[in-house]
Structures are given as C-alpha cells and as structure tokens.
Structure 1
Amino acid sequence: MAAAACAGLSACGGSVPDLAQIQRQHPSSSAWLLDRHGAVMQEVRVDFSRRQGAWQRLNTISPTLQQAVVNFEDKRFADHGGVDGRALVHALWQNLKGENRRGASTLTMQLAGFLQPELASGAHKGVLGKLRQMIAAWQIESALNKPQILEAYLNLAPFRGEARGVAAASAMLFGKGASALTRDEALLLAALLPAPQAPVDRVAARACRYAGEAADSDACERLRRLARLALPGQSTWAMAEAAPHLAAQLQLAAGARIRTTLDLSLQRRATAILESRLSQLVSEDVEDGAALVLDNASGEVLAYVGSRRSARQHQVDGVQALRQAGSTLKPFLYSLAIEQQILTAASWLDDSPVAVTTPSGQYVPQNYDRQFKGRVSVRTALAGSLNVPAVRTLLLTGVEPFHQRLLRLGLPLVQDADFYGYALALGAPEVSLWSLANAYRTLANGGRFSPPTLLPGQSELLGQVIDPAAAFIVADILADRAARSVTFGLESPLATPFWSAVKTGTSKDMRDNWCVGFSRRYTVGVWVGNFDGRPMRGVSGVTGAAPVWLELMQTLHTQPEAAPEPPSQVRRQNGEWFVEGTAPSSGRTVKVAAAEARISYPGEGAILALDPDMPPAMQRVFLAATGGTAAMWMLDGKLLGHADQPLAWSPVAGKHELKLLARSSGQVLDSVQFQVRGRNAVSSRAREHPGRAADQSRS
C-alpha cells in the first residue's frame, strides 16, 4: 500500500527542499524597488494569481500568532514526527460516529499540501490520500526542524481571500507587518486557518475561544468588532509608492528586489515640491508636472517624478512623455554657432522683425513679449531667450547641422531637418524631459555625453558631442543674471545663491513650460503643463516650472558652490569669454557700416491672416525697417510716422502698399505690396485714415 501511496510523488522518492529552497520556490507576488541606500521605494504586484508578501523569518512573526496556531491547529506539534497518532485515531472514531468535527492533519501535513498542492486536492482525499500526505510529512520532518516547519507553514498558509502567508494577511487585513500585530489581530488570523472563507461572526467566535476568555463578553465583543471591520472590507495593504513611473520602466520578476540609483528622501522631497507648486497653479488651469534630477558625473538618476499623485492622469509618465521643447533648444544652437566660430558671445545680432521664406510660406518669428530689442549681443540674446536672434543664428549655422547636433545629444527628433525648418530654433520638435535634462547635463560636463542610468554601476563612458570651449561659454551665459535681466529681471526663480546655469521654455499656446538647469554636480529638469494638451492661462516657464526647479536646486545645495574653471581653449578679454583665436585684436575698433534703408517686414507679396479667435482691436502687425533712422512710413498713400523703430499697425483686410520715404526729401527708399486676409479689423473710416490705426507706442 505504501508503494501505491508513493507512486508518482517526488516526496516519496526524491529529496525534500530545505528552507532556503522553499523560500525561493515561493516568492512574493510583488517586486520591490530599492533606493541607492537599500530603502524600499516602490512595491509592485507582478503576480496576480495570488497575494503573497515577503518571506517572514520566524523571529519577526507575532509570538501570539505562533502560539495560537500551534495550540489550536497542532497542540502536539513539538512532540510528533509529522503525524499525530492520537489525533488520527480520534478523527477516525469521530468519522465512524458520523461526527467529523475535527481533522487530524498536523501543521507538517498541511505544509506538505502547500508544497505539493496535489496532496491537498479533492482527488487525494480518503485513506490513500491521507497516507500520501503522512509520508510526505515524515520526509519533511526528516529535512527540517520544528521552527523551520512553523516558519514555512506561516509563510505559505492561506488566510482570507487571496492572501497567502502571514505577511499578505497582516498587510491586507490590518495594514501592518507581521511583527506589529496586536494580540486580538493575531488571534483573528489564527482563527482563519481552519476555514479561511468562513462567515465573519464564526471566525470571531473561534478567535474568542482561542483567547480562552469565552466568559469575558467584553473581549469577545472586541474581537467581533475587529472581525467585522477587517474581514469584509477592502484590502488595507499599503504598498510603498514613491516611484511608480520608474517601476514601469523596469522589467520586474516576482520576489525581485532591485536596487536603483534614486535617493528616497530626495524622491519624496521632489514629489512634495512638485505637488505644492501645482496646487498653487490650479486656478491657472494647470494640472500636471514632472521632475528629474541627475548626477552630472555618473549620469545616475537621483529623483524621478513622473506626475503628481492626485492628477486625473497620474499614470502618465511626464518624464518620458514627448512635449514641444520651446526655447530650451537655444543653448545647443548657440553652442554650435560658437563652436563653428560663426559667432562669439560678444557678436551682435539684430532683434528686429525678419521674414524667412519656407516651403509653406513666409515665417515671421516673434519674441515672447512681442517686443524687439534692436541690436543685442549673443550673450543677451541667449540669456534673454530672444526668438528672432535665434532664427538669425540658425540661418548662419544651417538647419541640417543643428538637427544632427540635437540627434547626437540624444533628443528624439522623429522628423528630418526639412520638416522642422527654421522653427527648429524655437523648439518646434517634441522632446522628453528625460532626453532634454540629459542634454543639459552634457553642457554641464563640458560637452561630453552619456545616457542617464537608473541602476548602479551601469554608467557609460562620456563621448564628446559639444566642443568644451563652446559648452563652457554657453553655460556661463546661462548663469549670467545680468544678461538674463533684459527679459526676466534681476530677481526671479532662476537666480540661486550658488553658481547655476538655467534655461526656461514655453511652447506654443502655453501648452508646456520647462525649466532645466545645472550646477557643477547636478542637473535638474522640470516640466509643467497638462497631459491632455490643453493650454495653461498665462503660465510660462519662469512662473510655472522655475519655482520647482529653484526649490529642488536649493534642496541639493546646502553650501556655496563656485563657478567651473574654464577649459584651456577659452580666453577672457574685455569682460567676455572667447574661444581661442576668435577674440577681436587688442585696440582694434570694429566699425559697423550703415545699413541701407529697406523694409524688413512685411515682405513683398506677403499674405497676412487675421486671427479669428482674437478681438480685432487686439491685433497688430509690426512694420519694421533696417537703416530707417531718417525715414517715414507711408501706407496706402497716408503717412503713419517715423520708421526708426518697429511700428504697431492695426491690420485692415485687403491689399496694401507700404512705402519707406526719406524724411528730408520724401524720396521712396523702398516699397512692398502685401495683403491682409480675414474680417475687417478696423472700420472703413480707419481705412480712409490709416494713420489713426497705427499705434505709435514703441515695442
């Protein structure tokens, strides 16, 4: 009969696994992400066929639970060798009398069923099935000692619902670890073992008997209240959730514990800072944001916040999502021009209207404040994020070389250079915060690039992408508070008490805003906007993302930090940095030839469209000329005013002729014909008196 019982069972002919093997064969249904110091950041359920927590050593499990399980499941556990003969005889006698109120399975026999589910299945009930279970129990007793058997039992036993093991049961029913159970909680868990799905009051009554206080109505009522609260309700399993979006980036196996490069305290701080700022921007129709912190030297990710927890679309990963870059690409354009020795930081660029011919028609870039500054240095143009000088710079470098530079920096441009055209200078492509922050880290590292890493020890060697001298000069410009003041003022969220270089960006219609910057040790990137793409109300990079960036940078830097040392290829002259060989000769006077008077905007044959969504009285066309210091505007035969500065004209639908006249002689210096399409922006009377439709205020 023993041979029949052993047929097909490894427990009869093979070796019994030791405790370590049992633990490996029954991993948790979750995986864990650890921070760089080993602290648990994120628990992720990866096996949905069961609910099992981390393996619990016996000395971490409530002693009350251990004692109750032994006393009421197998009171002679310490004495038998796997099978309790007295209990078996008693159970047989009850069966013969038809009273079948008590089973004879010891903890070891039940454990055999946990290890080999076929032993506990309905197909193995009866005498033969019980014999097989007994043989398996004897073998377990020969391989494991009593504490090991009890430990394995408590980690594998089914408790309630899908909870398997004491860790899962403690977490799901009481929201705590197995070592923190109260006496009543431990008794309630022990009372579940004979019939895990029993009605609540029956479980409570059994727990009351286990307590040995059946006569104490207060104690039993307390257990009933606890059972009614814990057993029917939703799971109280409080999983660590500090980095949910990072967890989605990694392939996780059940029971795995993955150490990452993140710092849990910084992760929590970054999350709190982002949540706080976004809550302040709710009235401006802002809901979402993301933040990323990188270590410059290693590329290790120190904080990764994909969204605010309370957002409607909190599952979206804002670190990886593609959004329009806005002005954040300008530093890489100017670094290319400086590297090619087309420009220096002291070169002059014209910030005035310019019409660029593209395959889809004329493109006329505007500055953020819709004002033009005239002649500005490269330093001022970049620090102040002026759009027109950036487009003029792209005309000098060429679109294709800039497109290639962005690709080498790891930015995910999905279209070719011709698709973006000159809008590439103003951030038309979509990029991720992940790629953009790392591109700025490349600037911080003197132009050397390597991808970021989430796992320790996986940093890659840096490869030179930007010339070190150009990277240094651009970083110095981005750190220049005075040069930045032309647009942002001297005091703004971009100003730190330590050396830092920073750039903001705002996409079309204020759908995205960015703030990305670095110190010598860290790079911080922040995106603020709405995942559904709706525009914000009046929120730019300096008011939306920059305050988050500033607070994160201040968190990272508790001590002053000096500016980086210039590379050997850089020289300083007259208060400015130059790539070696590009500085003007000492004492040399650079003369700028007087420009010939010409209309720079609108261009000949231009077709301007009125915006149907903007009130007519708010619409303006800026008439601009070069060399127009002694010239006058004439539109459709009527004088408008001086041409020494761009003039804001309220557009009128129809065809128009614009002339530039010499102020002294009235000679026509230049003329263009253009057309305005759309509904009339001003009355017909204004058409008769176009001078009245011109706004003489300086832009």
Structure 2
Amino acid sequence: RPIYTASGGIKRFDLNFSDIPDVVKQTTLTAEDRNFYHEFAINIKGVIRAAYYDIFHKTAFLSGGSTITQQFVKNALLSPQKSITRKIKELILAIEIEIMYSKDEILTMYLNQVPYGSNAYGIEAASQTFFNKHAQELTLAEAATLAAMLQRPTYYSPYGTHPNERLARVNWIIDSMVSLKYIDQAEADKAKAEAKNLKFAERHDYVVAPHFAQYVKDFLVDKYGEQVVESGGLKVTTTLDLDKQAMAEEAIKTGAARRFDNINASNAALVSLDPKTGQILAMVGSRDYFDNSIDGQVNVAVAERQPGSAFKPIVYATAFKQKYNPAFTLWDVQTDFGNYIPRNYDGTFHGPVSMRKALAGSLNIPAVKTLYLTGLDNVLNQAHSMGITTLNDRNRYGLSLVLGGGEIKLLDLTTAYGVFADNGMLAPTTPILKVTKSNGKVLEEYKENKKNVLDPQIAYEISSILSDNQARSYIFGSNSALYFPDRPVAAKTGTTSEYRDAWTIG
C-alpha cells in the first residue's frame, strides 16, 4: 500500500525579467550568489570553500559554492549523475552561457527553472505551490523562505520535518540583506517576525505516516541527490508495516489524551524496529504532524535529545566486557567525583549493591562509578559500534554521560537496544527494501548485513537484568508499568533533568 505519492507532473511557468519582483531577485542572490553581477561564470573561491565544508563535514549558512550560471547549467542542461566528466562539462557550458547571454537573461532563466521541491520548477510555480499566489505578490518573508529552500529543497520544504532549520536559514538571508544594503533593519525585523508565522498552502500529495515518508525522502536525497528524487520517477518499497504504524499512532494519541495534562507534557514520538533486520516497522515523529503549536513537523524520533538513564545499559555492557559482571559489588554511598556529586532518584543511599541490582533499580551513583571504572572512551567506542551516530565531540562529555548527559536520537538508541535483543548482533537501521527507477532498473535492494558488536553472553546479561522485575522492585515496585505478567519484557526508562524528556526503550 502506498504511503507517499506525488500528485501531478512538473509545474513550471515562465516569467519575463521585468515580471520577477526585486525582492525575489535580491533574496535569491543573497542566498545563492552574491557576486553574480560582478564575477564571470565560475566562483573559484566558492567552489573551494564548499568543497572544504563538505570534506570536513562543517556546517554553516553559506551562499552556494556554484554560481547561478553553474546551477542553471547543472539543472537545465546536464544529467544528475555525479562525475568528473560532468563537472568539466558544467564549467565549460557555464562559460559559454555567460558569453551568449546577459546577466539579466541568465538570472531570468535560472528563476524560471530552478527546482524548489514538490514538483515546482521556477519561482512562479513555487509561489503558487507553497503560497497560493503569484510571484509578484510575494512578501519579503515569503521570498526569503523560497530562497532558503533552493539549497536543499527537500530538507527545507515547508512540508518537511526541519522547520526550525528552515527558519534559521531564512533569518540568515534577511540579516544578510541588511548587510548588503537591500533592506534596512526595520524591514528585516518585520520580515523575520512574519517568517515565524507563515501560512503555507495545503499540500497536494498523498502521504501516510508523514514523518517516516519525509525521513525516507531525506534518506534518498542524501544518497541519490535532489534532482533524481524530485524528477526521477522512483518507486520505493519501504520497511513500514502499516498495521503496526496504525497501532503506534493510536498509542501516541491515546497516551497523550490520557496522561499529558497530568505530567505537563506536550509531545511524544515512537520508533519500532525489527532487531534481527534493522528494518523500521513504525515511526511516529510527533503527537500531531499538523499541529504547529508543538512544532509537529519536527521528527522527534531523529532529533538529538538527552536520554537520561536509558543510556546506562550501554555503560554496563561495556563494563561487562572488562573484568566486571552482574554480581560485582559497588558501594552506593555519597561520593564526590571532584566537584560532581550525583544523587539517586529516590534521594537515598543503598550501601553495597550488585551491578545487576544497581542497573535494574537505575541507581545513579553506582552508574557513575561504573563509567569511571570502565573509561569514557571505551563506552563511547561501544556506543558507536552499536549504532549511536551522535556523541562525537568527546571533549564535551564527562561522568554525567551515564545519566544521559549527551544528546542521542531515539532511532539510534532503539537500534542499540536491538543489539541486546539479537544476541550482540547489529543490523544497520534501514527504511528501504527496494528502490526502482522508472525504467525498471533496481538502484538498491535490502540485503542482510549484520555484524557482531557485543559478546552474546553480555547481551544476554543486559537483557536478563532489564527483564528482572524482582531486581528492580525495590525501587519501582513489583507491579510497575514495565511489568507484563504474560511475557518477559526487557525495558529501561530514562528521565532528564527537570523532567524535560522521558524515555522508555525495550
């Protein structure tokens, strides 16, 4: 059954240079090529700068590495395939275009064909698609928003899951326009205020599980490029189980209705994986995708958040790889780790406790001691081997990491727990079963690619502890929400400081 279908064909309308408002030209030049009218065809410095930021994975709000002329050639005259030959052709054609046409003519051609996403090509089609108005009617905030989308149409789409990142880029464009003398500060302040509350046109594509659908689209754009995804006619078979997706959405909906008011919560997310394959079976990124009051478009399932005590099993698993084991005794007493004195959730001390009891009861002081004994680098290495993609700036973290002092994605931590469930085997997370081009050519197809990242005995020990209802009953009681009388459930909760986030993984 389809979860996402783009309706209609390519939308494009040609405008004359005089029909394109200055605000569109100015926002576009600010975002994409500030020296367009002062340089010839190729911006060597921009290409080198873009390559540097790409190679070293730097992030910054930059105008494009390619000139507008190069972008026009790339989008209008060449195939999306990336190669040295194609790049050489792009440079040659850009020079020829600059010789044949005036700058105004090139900018007009660019603004009439550049892709904005959602099958909208050119500024007039984009204006109608996203704002239900003609390009000549666009406000500064609206024009800046469309200009912001040019760099990554899928990522910055109003129908995507990155509204905060889009707004940050819009604000950068508007602030830059002040520096470039296009507008004054008062106009900038007014436009930024408007940009926060823009009303976009209703989307016209068919979509089920919108967070997952956008996650797959982002995945494909990163792998195959914007042009292939927007115009390639791809048929994508995903891993989503629509029955489980419906159950997940209902669980979030009923849970929110039943408990949110009592605990001062506003949003929730859920991920379900098959630990043996790494396939995503269900993904709910927020309580309501269409609720702007909670930033519903943001996919909390892949947002970086602090996991609280849900990170502890990874630390204990790393310790068990060394000389420690579930029976090893730790002293749960007040301990000063050098201006850091952790406290237990219940505010008391429990004296000598086994590592099994300490993890089952989620005691904080023994957990910090376990990280200290095991070594921060060892724990981070193990976490990354189990599928955690964050926690990369090691200088940021200390002993509080075991209590959730580092940001992790829900999807990643679910993947890591899958290692415990599958006897130490990691199956890389995937949303894709098969991708086929319109001509029937298969671009990719799921193949099992598992690897052992944890001793099976240690994976069993962690699962045993997390399913030991008796071992955790001294803290949580014998009939907690984690206890299922009809089957064993290995689960762990996590709560961040000031109760900002609450996690349950199992």
Give me the TM-score of the superposition, normalised by structure 2: 0.54
> Is the 8 Å Cα contact of residues 412 and 430 (structure 1) preserved in structure 2?
no
| Equivalent in the alignment of 1:495 | 483
State how far apart, in whole Å, the 2-side matches of 1:327 and 1:410 are. 18
Which segment is superposed worse, 249-258 or 383-392?
249-258
State how far apart, in whole Å, the 2-side matches of 1:268 and 1:238 are. 20
Work out which of the residue numbers 315, 318, 325 in structure 1 matches 2:300. Answer: 318
State how far apart, in whole Å, the 1-side matches of 2:352 and 2:411 are. 35
CA separation of 1:46/1:459 partners in 2, compared to 1, >3 Å: closer, same or farther?
farther
Q: How many residues align?
A: 293
State the SS of the aligned residue for 2:301: coil
| Equivalent in the alignment of 1:337 | 319
CA separation of 1:44/1:414 partners in 2, compared to 1, >3 Å: closer, same or farther?
farther
1:394 aligns to 2:371 (yes or no): yes
| Equivalent in the alignment of 1:303 | 282
| Equivalent in the alignment of 1:241 | 208
TM-superposed deviation, 1:356: 0.3
State how far apart, in whole Å, the 1-side matches of 2:237 and 2:363 are. 44
CA deviations 1:418-470 (Å, max 9, x no partner) are: 42111122111100011000000011111121311111242442222212111
> Is the 8 Å Cα contact of residues 5 and 205 (structure 2) preserved in structure 1?
no
TM-superposed deviation, 1:243: 3.4
State how far apart, in whole Å, the 1-side matches of 2:299 and 2:204 are. 24
TM-superposed deviation, 1:414: 3.9
TM-superposed deviation, 1:239: 3.1
Matches for 1:459-538 after TM superposition, within 5 Å: 459-496=447-484, 497-517=486-506
> Is the 8 Å Cα contact of residues 347 and 377 (structure 1) preserved in structure 2?
yes
CA deviations 1:329-372 (Å, max 9, x no partner) are: 1111111111212x221121111111002xxxx10111112222
| Equivalent in the alignment of 1:266 | 244
Task: Note the residue ranges of structure 1 that are not aligned, 5 or more in a row.
Answer: 1-38, 51-161, 163-233, 518-699
| Equivalent in the alignment of 1:384 | 361
Higher relative contact order (CA 8 A, sep 6+): 2
| Equivalent in the alignment of 2:153 | none
State how far apart, in whole Å, the 2-side matches of 1:438 and 1:353 are. 34
TM-superposed deviation, 1:237: 6.4
TM-superposed deviation, 1:494: 0.8
CA separation of 1:339/1:275 partners in 2, compared to 1, >3 Å: closer, same or farther?
same
> Is the 8 Å Cα contact of residues 287 and 296 (structure 2) preserved in structure 1?
yes
Matches for 1:665-684 after TM superposition, within 5 Å: none
CA separation of 1:238/1:346 partners in 2, compared to 1, >3 Å: closer, same or farther?
same
| Equivalent in the alignment of 1:354 | 335
| Equivalent in the alignment of 1:23 | none
TM-superposed deviation, 1:478: 0.5
Work out which of the residue numbers 417, 423, 427 in structure 1 matches 2:394. Answer: 417
CA separation of 1:311/1:379 partners in 2, compared to 1, >3 Å: closer, same or farther?
farther
TM-superposed deviation, 1:46: 8.6
Give me the TM-score of the superposition, normalised by structure 1: 0.40
Q: Which amino acid letter does the alignment assign opposite residue 317 of structure 2?
A: S
State the SS of the aligned residue for 1:293: strand
CA separation of 1:340/1:411 partners in 2, compared to 1, >3 Å: closer, same or farther?
same
Matches for 1:103-502 after TM superposition, within 5 Å: 239-250=206-217, 251=220, 252-253=229-230, 255-283=233-261, 284-309=263-288, 311-312=291-292, 313-341=295-323, 343-357=324-338, 362-456=339-433, 457-496=445-484, 497-502=486-491
State how far apart, in whole Å, the 2-side matches of 1:470 and 1:436 are. 17
CA separation of 1:376/1:431 partners in 2, compared to 1, >3 Å: closer, same or farther?
same
| Equivalent in the alignment of 1:602 | none
> Is the 8 Å Cα contact of residues 450 and 461 (structure 1) preserved in structure 2?
yes
Q: Per residue, is there more helix in 1 or in 2?
A: 2
CA separation of 1:433/1:236 partners in 2, compared to 1, >3 Å: closer, same or farther?
closer
State how far apart, in whole Å, the 2-side matches of 1:514 and 1:243 are. 22
> Is the 8 Å Cα contact of residues 44 and 247 (structure 1) preserved in structure 2?
no
Q: Which amino acid letter does the alignment assign opposite residue 241 of structure 2?
A: D
TM-superposed deviation, 1:411: 1.4
State the SS of the aligned residue for 2:397: helix
CA deviations 1:66-112 (Å, max 9, x no partner) are: xxxxxxxxxxxxxxxxxxxxxxxxxxxxxxxxxxxxxxxxxxxxxxx
TM-superposed deviation, 1:513: 1.0
CA separation of 1:503/1:236 partners in 2, compared to 1, >3 Å: closer, same or farther?
closer
Matches for 1:11-22 after TM superposition, within 5 Å: none
State how far apart, in whole Å, the 1-side matches of 2:215 and 2:470 are. 42
State how far apart, in whole Å, the 1-side matches of 2:244 and 2:470 are. 31
> Is the 8 Å Cα contact of residues 479 and 502 (structure 1) preserved in structure 2?
yes
TM-superposed deviation, 1:274: 0.5
CA deviations 1:193-238 (Å, max 9, x no partner) are: xxxxxxxxxxxxxxxxxxxxxxxxxxxxxxxxxxxxxxxxx98968
TM-superposed deviation, 1:302: 0.7
Flag the structure with larger Rg. Answer: 1
> Is the 8 Å Cα contact of residues 319 and 433 (structure 1) preserved in structure 2?
yes
CA deviations 1:17-69 (Å, max 9, x no partner) are: xxxxxxxxxxxxxxxxxxxxxx122334596617xxxxxxxxxxxxxxxxxxx
| Equivalent in the alignment of 2:96 | none
CA separation of 1:478/1:46 partners in 2, compared to 1, >3 Å: closer, same or farther?
farther
Identity of counterpart residues, as a percentage?
34
> Is the 8 Å Cα contact of residues 307 and 404 (structure 2) preserved in structure 1?
yes
State how far apart, in whole Å, the 1-side matches of 2:291 and 2:474 are. 36
State how far apart, in whole Å, the 2-side matches of 1:412 and 1:423 are. 19
> Is the 8 Å Cα contact of residues 271 and 410 (structure 2) preserved in structure 1?
yes
State how far apart, in whole Å, the 2-side matches of 1:46 and 1:514 are. 41
Task: Note the residue ranges of structure 2 that are not aligned, 5 or more in a row.
Answer: 13-124, 126-200, 221-228, 434-444
TM-superposed deviation, 1:319: 1.1
State how far apart, in whole Å, the 2-side matches of 1:304 and 1:413 are. 20
State the SS of the aligned residue for 1:356: coil
